[in-house]
Every structure is written in structure tokens, then in C-alpha cells.
Structure 1
Amino acid sequence: MKNSLTFTPLFLAIAATIAPLAHAADASPADGFVEGSSLKLNARNYYMNRDRRDIHTDDSKEWGQGFIGTFESGYTQGTVGFGLDAHAMLGLKLDGGGGTDGSSILPYGSGNGKAPGSFSTAGGTLKMRAFDTELKAGDLFLNNPVIAGGMTRMLPQTFRGVSLVNHSLDGWMFEGGQASFTKLYNQSGHRRIGTSYGALPTNADSQHMNWAGMSFSGIDGLTSNLYASELKDVWNQYYYDLDYTYVVNEMISLNPGLHYYHTQDTGQSLLGDIDNNTYSLHFTVNAGHHSVTAAYQRVNGNTPFDYIAQGDSVYLDNSQQYSDFNGPNERSWKLKYAYDFGGLGLPGLSTAVSYISGKTDLTKVDPQSRGYSAWYSADGKDAKHWERDIDVKYVVQGGKAKDLALRLQWAVNRGSNGYSAVDRDVDEYRMIVDYPINVF
């Protein structure tokens, strides 16, 4: 496989649009390549158990120990500064479930169904900074609404490509880039970029992904993002959000918000026809250490809302621990309660409980669809499912173990006959321990 980057007209337009903004600000002094460098380590212990209740098979159980080391240099002195970032990751199997692996903590086993005892990866990034613009090329940790590396497993997902970020205007951030390959969170090597729910033809993963976007936070309490992306020969995807926090008094604040995606097939349409509009609305009331959130989410289209494989680029209110509630034509609502035990003299301890219910019509899905035919269900006229989540987290506040975090998660998902073909009846348990260390 040839790891080359293709500079398409869209990407060149991104660079041409953002780069001139660098001249709007004075150069800021660099800390120096060595003086501005840092090295961080994170030891992550991860246990995950998926009890597939509807197919009466062995639980999918995996337990692993991950180590993630990230080095970030400063920039050399001068108007144009240069730097280098590097990372290394190691995953160790503590228990693969005796052949029942598959919960995505460890690589999928071959032949005997058992995951390997270990897997590892490493990567580097060259970077350049001029004025308020930063250019990176190499292995990237990305996090935006249209391309975000998955961070919810033992090791994080990375992308191989280039990115450009500019902060010249107060309250604004502009960015763009192109990625051609990804390292999945339970794999060592790189592969072409695929999708989470669509079945791309064999050996026909998309060649690359382009994106451009801007973020605004120049008004107290208000944030907004606007992004556009192209997954070559698959889709063009557009995103917008608006989030506002209104402070009533020292104890109470109100937080309404909107997330919206539009996805349209493009080029060779490797996943077939796509015309999908998905949005979610939320309203949160924060009162002291309590918060209550109500959310509504709607998928308009005969294909599911889809996003990059294993990624976290699903900025929707009803994306939960197990299900994204993103089925074709799906309508879902959520009620969530969260509490910070600092109010009881236990700082660092927090919990959240959520209930989500969704309903959809799967008979409208094209059973001959090139990418989403698995979602079709003849008895899915009124397909339903629900999920209940409980999340408890504790972060050590001081001492030698400061910032060590323990997180316990439990999700229960149940679906009707029409929905069970795509979302299983599952009880899922996770236990995650993170121990971050700042070496320097």
C-alpha cells in the first residue's frame, strides 16, 4: 500500500483561505524547541464485558493494559518555528475471554478467535508555526465534528495526513486538513479510512478525507461551529452547532443547544444514494451540583447517520455508550440526571444516569442499497429500542496518585424484533482506570 497524500482542489482551497490570516497578527515569541517540550504518559487499564442477551452466546469479555506516551516539542526561535511531536502506544492482553474476544479492546483474533498477547504502534508529526498558524504533517490526533479519532477504548485512534490551524482573530479558530490513512484503536497498522455503519465494497475504502471548519467563542457563554468535509467517493458532510449558557444566578444556569448534520453522496457513491439530515436539540438546567438534561434527536433519511469508522465524530446529544440512536428515520428522546458529589464533601466523585428511547421505520430502507441494506427490516415499520446508562467516575484530588481516575459504566440496550437486526439486546459493563503522569 502506498502511503501518499493527494492535494485535491478542495484541500488547496482550504490552505489558500486560511494561510493569509496568519498575517493579521504579530509573531509571538517561541519558547524554544527544548524549553517548550513536554512528555506525558498515561497508563490505562480497561475491562469491557458485552453480554449479548438475544443470541445466547458467551459474553464478549476483554481486559487489557494500555500505555500511551506522547512527546511534544516546542518551536525553534524565529518568525517561522519548527517542531516535532511523537507518540508510542502499547496494548497488553490481560484476558481475552478464552476465545470470546470482540468487544474491540484488543485486536480481533485470527483462526482460533483469540486476540494476540500484545500490540503496539508509534508515530511522529512534523510541525511548523508562523504567526498564529500551525501546520502539522504526519500522525495526527484529530478532534472535530467531522473527523475525530476514537478515544473511548484502551488506546486512541490516529490519522495520517496534514492539518492547518489558525487563531489570528480573537474568539475564532479556523482549521482544515486532509487525512489518507487511520490507525484504529484496536489495531497496530494503518488502513484506508472507512465508515462506522456503511459496508464499503471490498478493497474500495475511501482514498482520503478533506475537511475545513471554523469555531466561534467570542461571546461569553456562546459557542458555535461550522464544518464541511468530503470523504472521497462516499459523501460530502456538513455540520453546524450552537450552544449557549445563560447564568441566572450563582446557583442556576440554563443551557440550550443544537447540533445539525447534512450528508450527501458524492463521486462514485460507494455507499449508494445518501440524502440524510440529522439534528439534535438539548436543554440543560444546572442547579448547584445537580443537572437535568432533556434532548430530542431526529434522523431524516432512509440511511442511518454515519461517520468515520471507530471515530468519535458523532456530535449528537443521543449518542450513548452502546447505541448512537442514528437509524434511518429514527426519532429519539433522552432524559439525563447528573450529580457532582462535591456538594456532599466528596470532590472528584460524580455520576450520571440516562434513559433514551428511539423509534424508526426500517421498511423504507432500500434492501438493495450498496452500503446500508443490512438496516432493512420487513417487520421494522414501528421498530423501537431503548437504552439505560449509569456512569460513575472518581478522580483523585491530591497526593502521589493525583489525577488517577476510576470510571465505571453500565449500559442496557433492548430492541423490538424489527430493530434487533442492527442493534442487539446487550448488557455492557466497562471499568476504566487512567493514571496520567507528566514526566516534564
Structure 2
Amino acid sequence: MKNSLTFTPLFLAIAATIAPLAHAAGSNPTDGFVEGSHLNLNARNYYMNRDRRDLHTDDSKEWGQGFIGTFESGYTQGAVGFGLDAHAMLGLKLDGGGGTDGSSILPYGGGNGKAPGSFSTAGGTLKMRAFDTELKAGDLFLNNPVIAGGMTRMLPQTFRGVSLTNHSLDGWMFEGGQASFTKLYNQSGHRRIGTSYGALPNAAGSQHMNWAGVSFSGIDGLSSNLYASELKDVWQQYYYDLDYTYAVNEMISLNPGLHYYHTQDTGQSLLGDIDNNTYSLHFTVNAGHHSVTAAYQRVNGNTPFDYIAQGDSVYLDNSQQYSDFNGPNERSWKLKYAYNFGGLGLPGLTSAVSYISGKTDLSKVDPQSRGYSAWYSADGKDAKHWERDIDVKYVVQGGKAKDLAVRLQWAANRGSNGYSAVDRDVDEYRVIVDYPINVF
């Protein structure tokens, strides 16, 4: 029988307040419910083109205009403060459909094979703050190594649940929570939480996610995170990272770091047996406006490293624009060069180029593996794939268009037999324009 990791409400409350309340008497002052309020709008124009070269089908092309409004109130005065957050999102189809949709910018799978002309969603969060602890309940924007909403499309992903955060000790942050539903980034409604690669049984629609973690940044240049999570009846997942930046002089710094995940099945094991250890190591040299990064990533296990559906909770160095290089038993290397054009008198313009090569032995993968059999073929003993990425971004530095950002991304992925079709021969282009507006 698998060990079960259960987070009760009492456990979460303790996790969030585990640090001593020594600062209670000097708790953070509040600006007031109205005085501390903020309203921000972001207009995001997004174009994506996926050319699936080895499938000889129409390209997946989508172009949309998104609008994201977020309101955050301050807290009422007193030892215990209350507040309210709210958001509203609207996505408009500018182009896509007729056999060319499906790049995940717009809702997919309409009765006529076309994406709808628009989709929208809205949500709210009640919040309470006492001393250095904050409780939120409702629709959450989450961002940690075990549950992070996808932010790489036109509209962001949200989760519905509760979260607790505590900052009682300088340099430390404690958090925990539970989420039962998610709003995917190309959908209007909520659904149960699933996984990115695993095919959960249709009848298994009751998954919820528990997590608890601690972050440390109390030493200059050093940061570290430790998290534990449970996706009910699917897996337990544990994460640790360590990152350090050493300044050699005013121009040169060195940055080594590591990320590590351990995932094991639990409860009813709806995705079958999982025993996966995945890690990545990186070393970056920063010299003025230049930086060079070398990274190595390894997946130890006969299932892929998996994470929450559409989410960004894959804190691994070789997770790229198109592929995560997370196949069963996969080993991958990356070399990345980045340059800040501020060194040439063009502040706000940055660029990066990357090359990643992965190799795996898929002969150990059970083709009948529950949940993952559709992704890989057991005949790929020496399966290989690689990806090239180019990323250019410009942020306007002043004037009426200040903070407007234009980003161009290109990725080419090539894979051998054994990998699924989506991880093989693809060229992908993205053009993203963000215009953030601080209303008040």
C-alpha cells in the first residue's frame, strides 16, 4: 500500500503560521480597503503558428486579442484586515479555424471545427490578513514549483481553492493550500484539475491538489525552495531547488543552481505506477551584457516527468518554448546565449538563443502503461530529439507607450521514432504584444 500524504485544514494553518509570531505586536500597517486598492488592465495580442512538418497537415494558426483586468483591494484597518480581489478576462478571435485552429490560443473542438468568436471568464477572491499571515479563498493566480497557472498564452490560467501565506521571519516565506478546480488558459469554464501528459479515466473527475512549501532568500545571492504536494489518487510530488549567484567583480558573476523533483503514485494510482526522479543542473556566466548558460537535465523513471495540465509548474532548466525534454529516462543538454542590447545603447531590447539535445531509451516503457501509453513507443531504444529557440523582446522605456512589450519567439523541434507526434518535427512562431495599463 502506498503511503498517503494528507493535508488537513489544521495542517495548512500550522504550515502557514509555523514561524513564531514574534512580530505580532508590530504587524504590517494597512493602507485601508479603498486607499490600498489597485486596478490594472493588460491588452495582450497573441499570434501563434505551428507547422507540424512530419504530419503533412494544415498549420495550426491562431491570432487573438485578450483583455485582462485585475482589481486588488487594500485591507480594512485593525489587527485583522479583510479585502477583496477580482478579475475579468475576454478573448477575441482575430483569426483561426477552418482546420487551422488548435494551437491552444483559442478554445478548441467546436462542432464545426472552428474556434468561437469570443470567450470570457471572471472570478473573485476573499482575503484576510492577520499579523504576517494572509488567507485567500476563491479564484487564485498561483505560481510555485508544484502548482503554477499557465501564463504563456493569451489569457492566464487560474485555480479555485484556498491558500495561506506567512512572512513572519525575514527572508522566509511559508505557504500552503488546496485547489479543486482550474480555469484553463483557453477556456471559459472551470474543470477538475488534471495532468499535462497523463490520461485520467473519464470517471475520475474528483482530483484536487494540496500543497505546502517554504522559500528562503535570507542570504545575499542565495535562494532555495522546498515543496510537497499531492494530486488526489494520482501522485505525491516533492521539489527542492538551490540557486546561488557569486559576484566575481562589478562585471562578472557566476550562477550555479539545481532543481529536483520526486514523483510517486498514491491512493488509487489513477495513472498507474509512478516512481520518477527528475533533476536539472545549470551554470551561468554573466559578463556585462552577455550571459552563457550550460545545463544538464535527467529523467529517471519509466514514465515522463508530469505536471498540472496547462500549468507552468515545471521548474526545470531544459523546459523550452516547445518541448520540456521530460520523456521517460531522457537525458538532455542545453547551451544558451543571451544579450542585453542596453550595451549598445538600446535599453529594453533583449535576446536569447538556445540549443537543446535530448536522448532516451524508450524500450523500457510499458506500451500498456495506464495513462501514458499514447505518448511513447517502446521501439525507441535510441530515441533522440533537439530544439533550437530564438527569443527577442523589446519593452518601451518611456513616453505614453511606456512598458508596452513586443516579443518574437521561434522554435524548431525535431524528433526520431519513439516520441509521440507532438514531440517530433514542428516549427513554431509566436508574436506577443503586451500593453499594461495601471488605472489606479
Q: Does the C-alpha gap of structure 1 residues 16 and 163 become closer, same or farther in structure 2, counting only changes over 3 Å?
A: closer
Q: Does the C-alpha gap of structure 1 residues 4 and 189 become closer, same or farther in structure 2, counting only changes over 3 Å?
A: farther
Q: Does the C-alpha gap of structure 1 residues 73 and 292 become closer, same or farther in structure 2, counting only changes over 3 Å?
A: same
TM-score by length of 1: 0.96
On the 8 A contact 1:22/1:166 being kept in 2, the answer is no
Q: Does the C-alpha gap of structure 1 residues 4 and 39 become closer, same or farther in structure 2, counting only changes over 3 Å?
A: farther
Cα distance per residue 1:256-276 (max 9 Å; x no partner): 000000000000000000000
Cα distance per residue 1:30-55 (max 9 Å; x no partner): 10000000000000000000000010
Map of 1:13-28 to 2, 5 A cutoff?
Answer: 14-15=14-15, 18=18, 21=21, 26-28=26-28
SS in 2 for 1:363: helix
Once the two structures are TM-superposed, the CA of residue 379 in structure 1 deviates from its matched residue by 2.3
Q: How many angstroms apart in 2 are the aligned matches of 1:238 and 1:6?
A: 14
SS in 1 for 2:249: coil
Equivalent in the alignment of 1:345? 345
Q: How many angstroms apart in 2 are the aligned matches of 1:2 and 1:193?
A: 21
Once the two structures are TM-superposed, the CA of residue 8 in structure 1 deviates from its matched residue by 3.6
Bigger CA drift: 245-254 or 17-26? Answer: 17-26
Q: How many angstroms apart in 2 are the aligned matches of 1:19 and 1:122?
A: 35
Q: Does the C-alpha gap of structure 1 residues 114 and 215 become closer, same or farther in structure 2, counting only changes over 3 Å?
A: same
Equivalent in the alignment of 1:375? 375
On the 8 A contact 2:176/2:213 being kept in 1, the answer is yes
SS in 2 for 1:21: coil
SS in 2 for 1:422: helix
Once the two structures are TM-superposed, the CA of residue 205 in structure 1 deviates from its matched residue by 3.4
Cα distance per residue 1:9-35 (max 9 Å; x no partner): 685465575486486562221100000
Does 1:133 pair with 2:133?
Answer: yes
On the 8 A contact 2:242/2:259 being kept in 1, the answer is yes
SS in 2 for 1:163: strand
SS in 2 for 1:67: strand
On the 8 A contact 1:366/1:376 being kept in 2, the answer is no
SS in 2 for 1:13: helix
Q: Does the C-alpha gap of structure 1 residues 4 and 334 become closer, same or farther in structure 2, counting only changes over 3 Å?
A: closer
Q: How many angstroms apart in 2 are the aligned matches of 1:172 and 1:77?
A: 25
Cα distance per residue 1:95-123 (max 9 Å; x no partner): 01433210000000322210000000000
- Would you identify which runs of 4 or more consecutive aligned residues in structure 1 move more than 6 Å? 1-7
On the 8 A contact 1:192/1:206 being kept in 2, the answer is yes
Aligned length: 440
Once the two structures are TM-superposed, the CA of residue 133 in structure 1 deviates from its matched residue by 0.4
On the 8 A contact 2:333/2:358 being kept in 1, the answer is yes
On the 8 A contact 2:365/2:378 being kept in 1, the answer is no
Bigger CA drift: 12-21 or 358-367? Answer: 12-21
Once the two structures are TM-superposed, the CA of residue 367 in structure 1 deviates from its matched residue by 1.5
Cα distance per residue 1:312-345 (max 9 Å; x no partner): 0000000000000000000000000000000000
Q: How many angstroms apart in 1 are the aligned matches of 2:58 and 2:420?
A: 18
Q: How many angstroms apart in 1 are the aligned matches of 2:198 and 2:313?
A: 15
On the 8 A contact 2:17/2:174 being kept in 1, the answer is no
SS in 2 for 1:343: helix
Cα distance per residue 1:200-254 (max 9 Å; x no partner): 0013134210000000000000000000000000000000000000000010000
On the 8 A contact 1:100/1:113 being kept in 2, the answer is no
Bigger CA drift: 325-334 or 419-428? Answer: 419-428
Once the two structures are TM-superposed, the CA of residue 375 in structure 1 deviates from its matched residue by 3.4
On the 8 A contact 1:104/1:153 being kept in 2, the answer is yes
On the 8 A contact 1:364/1:376 being kept in 2, the answer is no
Gaps of 5+ in 2: none
Q: Does the C-alpha gap of structure 1 residues 16 and 438 become closer, same or farther in structure 2, counting only changes over 3 Å?
A: closer
Q: Does the C-alpha gap of structure 1 residues 131 and 408 become closer, same or farther in structure 2, counting only changes over 3 Å?
A: same
Equivalent in the alignment of 2:54? 54
Cα distance per residue 1:330-384 (max 9 Å; x no partner): 0000000000000000000010000000000111111121111123423200000
Q: Does the C-alpha gap of structure 1 residues 431 and 2 become closer, same or farther in structure 2, counting only changes over 3 Å?
A: farther
Q: How many angstroms apart in 2 are the aligned matches of 1:5 and 1:128?
A: 27
Q: Does the C-alpha gap of structure 1 residues 275 and 6 become closer, same or farther in structure 2, counting only changes over 3 Å?
A: closer
On the 8 A contact 2:364/2:378 being kept in 1, the answer is no
Q: How many angstroms apart in 1 are the aligned matches of 2:170 and 2:16?
A: 20
Q: How many angstroms apart in 1 are the aligned matches of 2:195 and 2:343?
A: 42
Bigger CA drift: 206-215 or 123-132? Answer: 206-215
Q: How many angstroms apart in 2 are the aligned matches of 1:105 and 1:14?
A: 40
Once the two structures are TM-superposed, the CA of residue 192 in structure 1 deviates from its matched residue by 0.1
On the 8 A contact 2:260/2:280 being kept in 1, the answer is yes
Does 1:194 pair with 2:194?
Answer: yes
Q: How many angstroms apart in 1 are the aligned matches of 2:3 and 2:435?
A: 34
On the 8 A contact 2:222/2:244 being kept in 1, the answer is yes
On the 8 A contact 1:377/1:418 being kept in 2, the answer is yes
Q: Does the C-alpha gap of structure 1 residues 439 and 5 become closer, same or farther in structure 2, counting only changes over 3 Å?
A: farther
Cα distance per residue 1:150-179 (max 9 Å; x no partner): 000000000000000000001000000000
Bigger CA drift: 357-366 or 370-379? Answer: 370-379
Q: How many angstroms apart in 2 are the aligned matches of 1:420 and 1:7?
A: 36
Equivalent in the alignment of 1:179? 179
Q: Does the C-alpha gap of structure 1 residues 47 and 215 become closer, same or farther in structure 2, counting only changes over 3 Å?
A: same
SS in 2 for 1:10: helix
Q: How many angstroms apart in 2 are the aligned matches of 1:407 and 1:393?
A: 4
Q: How many angstroms apart in 1 are the aligned matches of 2:97 and 2:82?
A: 46
Q: Does the C-alpha gap of structure 1 residues 25 and 323 become closer, same or farther in structure 2, counting only changes over 3 Å?
A: farther
Q: How many angstroms apart in 1 are the aligned matches of 2:22 and 2:263?
A: 31
Q: Does the C-alpha gap of structure 1 residues 11 and 365 become closer, same or farther in structure 2, counting only changes over 3 Å?
A: farther
Cα distance per residue 1:121-151 (max 9 Å; x no partner): 0000000000110000000000000000000
On the 8 A contact 1:14/1:177 being kept in 2, the answer is no
On the 8 A contact 2:15/2:174 being kept in 1, the answer is no
Gaps of 5+ in 1: none
SS in 1 for 2:21: helix
Once the two structures are TM-superposed, the CA of residue 180 in structure 1 deviates from its matched residue by 0.3
Does 1:361 pair with 2:365?
Answer: no
TM-score by length of 2: 0.96
SS in 2 for 1:203: coil
Once the two structures are TM-superposed, the CA of residue 422 in structure 1 deviates from its matched residue by 5.2
Q: Does the C-alpha gap of structure 1 residues 393 and 341 become closer, same or farther in structure 2, counting only changes over 3 Å?
A: same
Once the two structures are TM-superposed, the CA of residue 420 in structure 1 deviates from its matched residue by 4.4
